[in-house]
Structure 1
């Protein structure tokens, strides 16, 4: 699906997504990635949803963001509560959603100037 939001200059915006891929600023990615408005992290983890580790969440919690989104692929799945503890320690909000919702929500929050980050599981 193509997203038709105006891209603020110089900021990472999801421009499309589909089965096993997302496009950021028109560039297609088919590996897990994390994004902040000013920076991309291709392959932020090699994990699948089933193999997510505490270290993956510690890394997300370390990002300069107030709100962190986790896109869990084509369907919504919630990680084990112990994996989300780094978010509580860092006093950051974590919203878990499927990949399409995470892309759309990130674009809206980024467009509002919010300090948002997203981690997407594509594999």
Structure 2
């Protein structure tokens, strides 16, 4: 049996998720960040879901998502209702999950050509 490594093309993808970092293709990021299929916004100032409020919505909307995946670290933690409402008012779906689940879901949707944006929160 022949085994061949085939890497996804045409979008940025998550290769690995750890407790303190996320590897995009071949580069590990250890600060919170935003990820769209065509770009990464590094050094996002949010470290935990409790810090999110309506003022953080614009940074994600600037990436023009049709769906937002919110990775809240090693555990799923819901942000304030005002944060979620900022997306719902614009007709944009938002899902809250741990970072590993967010990475898997992001890779699947980005691979399908969807305009998905994932926010990954990593501890300081």
Looking at structure 2, the residues matched to 54 and 6 of structure 1 have their Cα atoms a distance apart, in angstroms, of: 40
Q: Is the 8 A contact 2:47 2:122 kept in 1?
A: no
Q: Which runs of 5+ in 2 are unaligned?
A: none
When residues 53 and 81 of structure 1 are mapped into structure 2, their CA distance, relative to the original with a 3 A threshold, is closer
Give TM-score scaled by structure 2 length: 0.87
**Per-residue deviation, residues 102-122 of structure 1 (Å, max 9, x unmatched):** 001000000111110100101
When residues 72 and 42 of structure 1 are mapped into structure 2, their CA distance, relative to the original with a 3 A threshold, is same
Q: Number of aligned pairs?
A: 119
| Runs of 4+ off more than 6 Å | none
User: In the alignment, what sits opposite 2:35?
Assistant: 35
- Deviation of the 1:7 alpha carbon: 3.4
Q: Is the 8 A contact 2:53 2:82 kept in 1?
A: no
User: In the alignment, what sits opposite 2:93?
Assistant: 93
- Deviation of the 1:45 alpha carbon: 2.5
